[in-house]
C-alpha cells in the first residue's frame, strides 16, 4: 500500500509589533487554525510536482484571466514547492544523508490569498515538514523558520521577516525578539529568541478579511525596506516603536489585560499609518471596526485585520458593519 504523508501549516495573524520583524524588532503572533495549507507526498518513480488550483492556466475568458492575475499575481504555489525542495537539498548537503527514492508532491490551500494571513509561507512550511518526514531529517525547531525564510528571500527574492515562519513552525501564541542582542547563528542561519505564551488569554480576539482588497506582501515590504535601508529617521524610529509595543503587549497578555492589549494594537496601526500610505479600502476596515467599539490593526500586510472585541453584541456589530464592505469576520482557532 502506498504511504501518503500529509503535512499542514496554518494561517496566522500578527497581533502586535509587525512589521518590525524584518527590522530587528519584536512581535507577537497567533496561529489561526481555521485555514491551512496541506502538502501530500508519496514515493514515485520520478520527482513530480503536481499543480494545484492556485496554478491555474485555463480560464473561461480573458476577463477571468485578468481577474485571476489581479488577485493572485502571475505565480501560483508551485514555485514555492519547487524552491523549498531546492533549498532543503542544499541545506542538508554535508549535514544529513538523503536517500535516493523519488516522490510525487502536491499541495492545496484554503488560506485566503494575499490578505496578510501568510498563505505563501504556509505552503513552504507544510512542504518542509513533508520533506523532513520523508527523508527522516530532524532540523531544530528554532532553525526551521530561518530556513523557510531563506526559501523566500534567497530563492524567490521576496522581502519578508521571520514572524510568519516562526508562528507557523511553533504554532500557538509566540512572542518573538529579533533585536541584535537576541539573534544567534545556528547551522548557518540567523535565528531570533522565541517565547511561547498561553493562547487561552485570547478569548476575545476577532479577525476580519476581504479577499477583494488583498495585495502581495512584497508590494508593501519592498517599499518599506528601501526606506529603512536609506535610514529615513521616521521609519527607523517607528520600528523601535513597534518593538516597544510588542514588549508592552507581552506584559498585557501575561497579566490577562485584553483592554490594554487592544489599546496597544490600535497604537500599532496608527504608527503604521503614519509612516506608510495605506490603501483606502484597507484603512476603511480598521475604521469600521473601531466605530463598532473594537480595537483593530492589520493582521499582516493588509486585507485582513485583527483586534479585541468586548462582548457578543459588539461581535455582531462587527459582523454587520464589516459585512457591508464584503468582509468576513471569524473567531480564530488558536
Per-residue burial over 53-62, b = 16 or more CB atoms within 10 Å of its CB, e = otherwise: ebbeeeeeee
38 and 184 co-located in one domain: yes
Specify the pLDDT at position 133: 97
pTM over 0.85: yes
Are both 39 and 83 inside the same structural domain? yes
Do residues 263 and 292 touch, judged by C-beta distance below 8 A?
A: no
* CB atoms inside a 10 Å sphere around CB 70: 11
Q: Are residues 216 and 318 in the same domain?
A: yes
The answer to whether 164 is a known catalytic residue is yes
On whether both 229 and 118 belong to a single domain, the answer is no
Per-residue pLDDT tens over the stretch 210-238: 987 655 554 554 588 899 999 999 999 99
- Determine which one of 21, 55, 133, 164 is catalytic: 164
| 181 plus 246 within the same structural domain | no
Q: What is the pLDDT of residues 260-299, one digit of tens each?
A: 999 999 999 999 999 999 999 999 999 999 999 999 999 9
CATH number at residue 299: 3.30.70.890
Average pLDDT, the chain: 93
**Residue 282 sits in the same domain as residue 163:** no
What b/e readout covers 97-127, taking b as 16+ CB neighbours within 10 angstroms? eeeeeebbbbbebebbbbbbbbbbbbbbbbb
Residue 76: band (very low, low, confident or very high) from pLDDT cuts 50, 70, 90: confident
Total domain count, the chain: 2
188-205: pLDDT as tens digits: 999 999 999 999 989 999
Same domain, 137 and 233: no
- Higher pLDDT among residues 292 and 1, named by residue: 292
What pLDDT score was predicted for residue 219? 52
Residue 113: which pLDDT band, with cuts at 50, 70 and 90? confident
Output phi, psi for 254, to 5 deg.
-65, -30
Domain of 101, CATH number, reads: 3.30.230.10
Verify that 13 and 46 share a domain, yes or no: yes
Residues 179 and 60 in one domain: yes
Q: Are 39 and 105 in contact (CB under 8 A)?
A: yes
Cell 477571468 sits on residue: 64
Q: What is the span of the domain harbouring residue 210?
A: 201-330
Claim to verify: residue 189 and residue 283 sit in the same structural domain:
no
**The three grid cell numbers given for residue 250, joined into one nine-digit string:** 507581552
174 lies in the same domain as 216: no
Strand partners, 48: 104
Amino acid at each position: 500500500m502506498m504511504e501518503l504523508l500529509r503535512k499542514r501549516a496554518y494561517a496566522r495573524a500578527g497581533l502586535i509589533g509587525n512589521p518590525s520583524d524584518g527590522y530587528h524588532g519584536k512581535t507577537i503572533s497567533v496561529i489561526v487554525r481555521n485555514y491551512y495549507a496541506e502538502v501530500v507526498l508519496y514515493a514515485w518513480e520520478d520527482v513530480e510536482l503536481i499543480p494545484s488550483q492556485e496554478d491555474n492556466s485555463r480560464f473561461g475568458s480573458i476577463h477571468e484571466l485578468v481577474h485571476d492575475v489581479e488577485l493572485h499575481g502571475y505565480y501560483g504555489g508551485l514555485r514555492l514547492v519547487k524552491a523549498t525542495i531546492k533549498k532543503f537539498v542544499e541545506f542538508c548537503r554535508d549535514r544529513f544523508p538523503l536517500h535516493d527514492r523519488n516522490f510525487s508532491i502536491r499541495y492545496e490551500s484554503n488560506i485566503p490569498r494575499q490578505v496578510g494571513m501568510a498563505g505563501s509561507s504556509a505552503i513552504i512550511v507544510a512542504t518542509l515538514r513533508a520533506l523532513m518526514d520523508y527523508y527522516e531529517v530532524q532540523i531544530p525547531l528554532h532553525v526551521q523558520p530561518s530556513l523557510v525564510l531563506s526559501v523566500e528571500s534567497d530563492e524567490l527574492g521576496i522581502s519578508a521577516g521571520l514572524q510568519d515562519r516562526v508562528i507557523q513552525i511553533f504554532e500557538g501564541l509566540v512572542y518573538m525578539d529579533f533585536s541584535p542582542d537576541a539573534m544567534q547563528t545556528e547551522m548557518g542561519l540567523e535565528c531570533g529568541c522565541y517565547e511561547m505564551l498561553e493562547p487561552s488569554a485570547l478569548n476575545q480576539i476577532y479577525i476580519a478579511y476581504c479577499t477583494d482588497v488583498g495585495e502581495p506582501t512584497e508590494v508593501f515590504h519592498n517599499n518599506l525596506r528601501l526606506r529603512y535601508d536609506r535610514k529615513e529617521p521616521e521609519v527607523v524610529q517607528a520600528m523601535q516603536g513597534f518593538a516597544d509595543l510588542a514588549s508592552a503587549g507581552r506584559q498585557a497578555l501575561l497579566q490577562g489585560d485584553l483592554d490594554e492589549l487592544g489599546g496597544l494594537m490600535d497604537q500599532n496601526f496608527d504608527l503604521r499609518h503614519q509612516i506608510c500610505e495605506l490603501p483606502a479600502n484597507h484603512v476603511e476596515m480598521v475604521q469600521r471596526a473601531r466605530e463598532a467599539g473594537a480595537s483593530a490593526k492589520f493582521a499582516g500586510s493588509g486585507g485582513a485585520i485583527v483586534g479585541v472585541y468586548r462582548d457578543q453584541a459588539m461581535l455582531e456589530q462587527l459582523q454587520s458593519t464589516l459585512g457591508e464592505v464584503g468582509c468576513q469576520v471569524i473567531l480564530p482557532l488558536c
